[in-house]
């Protein structure tokens, strides 16, 4: 009987091995067939030459060379294919292509590069997908209602006043870099509106939080653009993991500590029967922040954990900092090259404010029609988020091409915004493009600085308000001249599109 038992075990082991091998072969065959189909479809899409191992990206990975390579490659067609190693990417360079991706409720999964943001942002609104994204978007939309945004106007005005005082010292006609001044102001704005907690970046650029957010951004850019630093184990082995983790700890601790403090304030106000916004903090009426709204949502309706709240606050910090900074700098750079348009903006400011130093109101912002069009035109030429990605889970047809499911798809607003059919003489700075009579027949996806469709930027109204207040504050007091000619301008693409070497301006006090 023993031999029968042994024979049975041998048979069972052989059967298991055969089954395992069959399953492995079937999965391999399925993968090969899928890969062959993907390669066949991608082969029909134009693109640069590709190396079998290294792909078709440029040899240099500097921020300057990367954007120049993308701009050059984008001229190959409305859909362009290139390879990053073994991973294919399809770049969308037309309004029609952008609509096919962005208008769909099915193509909402973000591209693979967004995974690197999860260490900081977790599954916040920017990185979440599926049912979690839908529920969070629905929950957070009321936080960006017009009446709530109006309460942030005082922050915009206060912080812009601080920036103007610092710029007074630079208004001697000597060239200097405007970028850091606007960056620190925008950081103060976003910290106070998101968390209700100032970091005083404009007065203390060496604060721990300010240094951590700047260092983390640099490390993140380096990691995402260096192929061998992408895997976690390699980054731990040969990367700057220790410094990376130290920055993350500062960022997360700051957010978590603020959540604890603001939750305690909220509970105190409820016990006293006093409205949160009527409380005084440091002798001033307490202003509701984005964080306060999330805390109220977590107690009044859908439960959010402190970790959920931290994810959303950190996401707001990330999305609302560098993007608005870049946009404002580009507008001032362009106006500095077009004194005739800048003079018209000065006239608009004078007609609204006269000689007054009073803070801007919502009615004032609504009256800034020309400045609004200048901001829109600045975002057309130099969109802060000049590329963003999706991973569609089903095939997408754009004209004669089919992008197979699972392909990384890059939307490239920098090229989309330069379509001469949609924007004649596309390199010209012309704010009148956005007058109603000039834009009413334009393709709805020809201009996508805030993305579009169901996953458009939830904070775009906030950004537009902030940009109007800060830029108008500068132009009420100063005249600017740009020192770097357009033909000599070099751009970089770290997390946002920015000028290499900063935004070098001359600033003069207005008479």
As a whole number, mean pLDDT of residues 120-125 equals 89
Q: Which of 195, 184, 329 is nearest to 255 (CA)?
A: 195
Band (46; pLDDT cuts 50, 70, 90): very high
Predicted confidence band at 275 (pLDDT cuts at 50, 70, 90)?
A: low
Name the strand (E) or helix (H) holding 447.
none
Asked if residues 462 and 144 have their Cβ atoms less than 8 Å apart, the reply is yes
Write the CA distances from 372 to 91, 367, 376, integer angstroms: 29, 9, 6
Rounded average pLDDT over 62-78: 88
Q: How far apart are CA 338 and CA 307, in angstroms?
A: 47
- Between 100-114, 142-156, 212-226, 264-278, the lowest mean confidence (pLDDT) is in 264-278
Instruction: Identify the pLDDT of residue 427.
Output: 97
Check residues 426 and 277 and name the one with the higher pLDDT: 426
How would residue 472 be classed by pLDDT, with cut points 50, 70 and 90?
very high
Q: Which residues contact 388 (CB under 8 A, 6 or more apart)?
A: 110, 111, 410, 411, 451
319-348 mean pLDDT: 96
Burial class (CB in 10 A: 0-12, 13-18, 19+), 440: exposed
Q: Please give the average per-residue pLDDT across 6-14, as a whole number.
A: 66
Q: What is the mean pLDDT of residues 197-201?
A: 85
Residue 57 confidence (pLDDT): 66
**Contact (CB, 8 A) for 455 and 108:** yes
**What is the CATH code for 63-509?**
1.10.630.10
Does the pLDDT at position 385 exceed 90? yes
Q: Given this model, what pLDDT does residue 79 score?
A: 96
Q: How confident is the model at residue 49 (pLDDT cuts 50, 70, 90)?
A: confident
Least confident interval from 8-22, 64-78, 82-96, 276-290: 276-290
Question: Mean per-residue pLDDT for 176-201?
Answer: 91
Half-sphere exposure for 439 (CA within 13 Å, toward CB): 16
pLDDT (0 to 100) of residue 283: 42
pLDDT confidence of residue 5? 57
Distance CA(250)–CA(262), nearest Å, equals 18
Q: What is residue 22's predicted lDDT score, i.e. its pLDDT?
A: 77
Q: pLDDT (tens digit, 9 = 90+) per residue, 394-444? A: 999 999 999 999 899 999 999 999 999 999 999 999 999 999 999 999 999
The larger pLDDT score, comparing residue 21 to residue 469, is at 469
Q: What pLDDT is attached to residue 200?
A: 87
Average pLDDT over residues 454-480: 96
Backbone angles phi, psi at 103, to 5 degrees: -80, -15
- Binning pLDDT at 50, 70 and 90, where does residue 10 land? low
Distance in angstroms (rounded) separating the CA atoms of residues 313 and 256: 10
CB 84 within 8 A of CB 91: no
Residue 344 near residue 156, CB atoms below 8 Å: no
Q: Are 374 and 334 in contact (CB under 8 A)?
A: yes
Please state the domain extents for the chain.
63-509
Q: Which helix (H) or strand (E) holds 68?
A: helix 63-74
- State the pLDDT confidence band at 140, using cuts at 50, 70 and 90: confident
Does residue 278 carry a pLDDT above 90?
A: no
Q: What pLDDT is recorded for position 376? A: 98
Confidence of residue 274 (pLDDT cuts 50, 70, 90): low
Q: Please answer whether residues 476 and 340 qualify as being in contact, where contact means their C-beta atoms are separated by less than 8 angstroms.
A: no
> What does DSSP assign to residue 424?
S
- Residue 84, beta-bridge partner list: 55, 87
What is the pLDDT confidence band of residue 299, given thresholds at 50, 70 and 90?
confident
Rounded average pLDDT over 242-265: 90
Over 275-291, what HEC string results? CHHHCEECCEECCCCHH
As a whole number of angstroms, the distance between CA 99 and CA 81 comes to 18
Say yes or no to pLDDT of 34 above 80: no
pTM score of the predicted model: 0.89
Distance CA 362, CA 442 (A): 28
Of the candidates 145, 120, 157, the residue with the CA atom closest to the CA atom of residue 293: 145
Binding-site positions for heme read: 457
Could you give the C-alpha distances from 301 to 130, 275, 304, 314, 327, in angstroms and in order?
A: 21, 18, 9, 22, 36
User: What are the contacts of 23-28 at 24+ separation with CB within 8 A?
Assistant: none
Tokens representing residue 64 in the block: 């300057």
Euclidean distance between CA atoms 417 and 381, whole angstroms: 7
For the residues of 203-229, what is the DSSP string, one character each? T-TT-HHHHHHHHHHHHHHHHHT-GGG
pLDDT at site 78:
95
With contact defined as beta carbons under 8 Å apart, do 468 and 372 qualify? yes
Task: List residues forming the annotated binding site.
Answer: 457
Q: How far apart are CA 434 and CA 446, in angstroms?
A: 12
Q: Are 320 and 194 in contact (CB under 8 A)?
A: yes
Assess contact for 223 and 230: CB atoms under 8 A: yes
What pLDDT was estimated at residue 281? Answer: 44
**Which of these ranges, 106-120, 291-305, 339-353, 468-482, has the smallest mean pLDDT?**
291-305
* pLDDT grade for 7, boundaries at 50, 70 and 90: low
Share of the chain above pLDDT 70, in %: 90
The pair phi, psi for residue 266, each rounded to 5°, is -65, -45
């Amino acid at each position: 009987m023993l031999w029968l038992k042994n024979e049975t075990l041998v048979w069972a082991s052989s059967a298991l091995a055969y089954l395992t091998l069959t399953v492995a072969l079937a999965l391999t065959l399925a993968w090969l067939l899928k890969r062959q189909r993907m390669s066949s479809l991608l082969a029909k899409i134009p693109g640069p030459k590709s190396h079998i191992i290294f792909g078709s990206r440029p040899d240099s990975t500097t921020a300057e060379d990367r954007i120049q390579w993308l701009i050059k490659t984008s001229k190959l067609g409305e859909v362009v294919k290139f390879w990053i190693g073994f991973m294919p990417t399809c770049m969308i360079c037309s309004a029609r292509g952008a609509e096919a991706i962005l208008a769909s409720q099915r193509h909402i999964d973000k591209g693979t590069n967004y995974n690197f943001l999860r260490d900081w942002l977790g599954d916040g609104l920017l990185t979440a997908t599926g049912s979690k994204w839908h529920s969070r978007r629905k929950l957070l939309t009321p936080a960006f209602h017009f009446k709530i945004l109006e309460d942030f106007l005082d922050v915009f005005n206060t912080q812009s006043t601080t920036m103007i005082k610092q710029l007074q010292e630079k208004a001697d006609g000597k060239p200097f870099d405007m970028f850091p001044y606007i960056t620190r102001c925008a950081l103060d704005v976003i910290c106070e509106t998101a968390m209700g907690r100032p970091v005083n970046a404009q007065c203390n650029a060496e604060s721990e939080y300010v240094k951590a957010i700047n260092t983390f951004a640099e490390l993140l850019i380096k990691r995402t653009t260096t192929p061998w630093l992408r895997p976690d184990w390699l980054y731990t082995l040969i990367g700057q993991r220790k410094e990376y983790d130290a920055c993350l700890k500062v960022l997360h601790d700051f957010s978590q500590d603020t959540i604890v403090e603001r939750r305690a304030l909220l509970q105190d106000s409820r016990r006293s029967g006093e409205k949160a916004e009527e409380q005084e903090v440091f002798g001033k009426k307490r202003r509701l922040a984005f964080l306060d709204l999330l805390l109220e949502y977590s107690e009044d309706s859908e439960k959010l954990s402190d970790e959920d709240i931290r994810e959303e606050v950190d996401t707001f910090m990330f999305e609302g900092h560098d993007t608005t900074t870049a946009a404002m700098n580009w507008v001032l750079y362009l106006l500095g090259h077009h004194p005739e348009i800048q003079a018209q903006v000065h006239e608009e400011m004078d007609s609204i404010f006269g000689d007054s130093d009073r803070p801007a109101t919502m009615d004032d912002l609504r009256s800034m029609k020309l400045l609004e069009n200048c901001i829109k035109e600045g975002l057309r030429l130099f969109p802060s988020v000049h590329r963003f990605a999706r991973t569609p889970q089903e095939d997408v047809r754009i004209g004669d091409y089919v992008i197979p499911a699972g392909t990384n798809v890059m939307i490239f607003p920098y090229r989309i915004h330069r379509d001469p059919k949609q924007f004649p003489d596309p390199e010209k700075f012309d704010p009148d493009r956005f007058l109603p009579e000039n834009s009413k027949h334009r393709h709805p996806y020809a201009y996508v600085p805030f993305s579009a469709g169901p996953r458009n930027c939830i904070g775009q109204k906030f950004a537009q308000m902030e940009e109007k207040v800060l830029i108008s504050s500068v132009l009420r007091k100063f005249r600017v001249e740009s020192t770097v000619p357009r033909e000599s301008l070099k751009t970089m693409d770290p997390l946002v599109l920015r000028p290499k070497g900063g935004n070098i301006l001359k600033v003069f006090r207005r008479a």
